[in-house]
Amino acid sequence: MLDVSPREASALLVFLAALLTAWTANANGFVWDDRSAVLSNADAQSSGLLDVFRHDFWGTHIRSTHSHKSYRPLTVISFRLNFLLAGEHSAWFYHFTNALVHALCSVLVWKVADELFQQHERRLGEEKATENPQDASPTAASGRVEAAMEGEGGNLVGSVTAGLLFAVHPIHCDAVASIVGRADLLCTSLCLLAFMAYARGAGRGGTKWGAVALALVLTVAAGLCKELGFTNFALLVVYDLLRIHNYHSVNGGMKSMKRRIAVVVGVGILAALVRVWINGEHRHMEWNILANNVVVQESRLTRTLSYAHLHAWYLWKLVWPRWLSFDYGYADPVRHRRRRC
């Protein structure tokens, strides 16, 4: 019999649930954007490796006026690895890789939730020890630590629930079932890894700059998988600010937090400037109405209302994931202000 702890069993459960949920996509072929990003993109197959860093996601030079301006070299490199291992026509292997990365993301969500629940329980234990000094004894403290490590209490239930919800939620079919969705999957996995590294580097015992540096590198890597990854810099800052009460009771805690935030903001601004510089003189793509019918609207109010509606719509899909689509494109609704007669 294998000696498996509750924590290890819960991680395996989340991994298998995610893998089985995504497994049916393995029978799919190359469709829609997959053809442009993989089959018609020399960077994803046999061009020079440095070309991956000169071109956009679709193989066009990033500084060209015709470029989509989506710069995702690490995602393209993952396509190239699929091509080298299985060849151009093995769509199954590309989809299987997506399923594996989705399973990894689900386990990382479980791990992040587990870490946050343990932080919460430690804080509750400290508050209880303050109210009842006898609970602060080494024996009591050791018992709480052992319980947390063995997965006892509500933290394991909460983290498993979070991991399973992420693993089986239908909204993820948009990213998992299409090969180009690899960008979202890799970006998410690296952002979660960056968060865990930062959480360890921002402990109450002082800043561990090695872990913080790793978090920043992983965040940049996430942004090189998909542009949304650069927003993780802001999430790291928010994490520190939400835990500000933990630093007041530690000597130098506030000073360390301010220094960390300054470094994160500084690196984030630098990364954003470099990313914009990579685009060259033509920094923005010229959208047409079929590709994005919101951005081409002349009225700023119309664009604002439309984007607000889209964000509300996507949030609603988390609650009721109906009418999913592999590409929303022209279906994005345009919202105008109603005028009263």
Least confident of 38-47, 213-222, 233-242, 305-314: 305-314
Question: Phi, psi (5° rounding) for residue 250?
Answer: -115, 135
Looking at residue 341, what is its pLDDT? 42
Looking at residue 55, what is its pLDDT? 92
Looking at residue 323, what is its pLDDT? 78
SS3 annotation, 91-114 = HHHHHHHHHHHHHHHHHHHHHHHH
Quickly state the pLDDT bin for 64 (edges 50, 70, 90).
confident
Looking at residue 119, what is its pLDDT? 82
Separation CA 297–CA 271 (nearest Å): 30
Model confidence pLDDT, tens digit, residues 238-248: 999 988 776 65
Indicate the domain borders of the chain: 289-341
Mean pLDDT of 111-132: 78
Separation CA 154–CA 146 (nearest Å): 14
DSSP code of residue 36: I
Looking at residue 193, what is its pLDDT? 98
Looking at residue 153, what is its pLDDT? 47
Looking at residue 118, what is its pLDDT? 85
Model confidence pLDDT, tens digit, residues 193-228: 999 999 999 877 788 999 999 999 999 999 999 999
* % of the chain with per-residue pLDDT over 70: 78
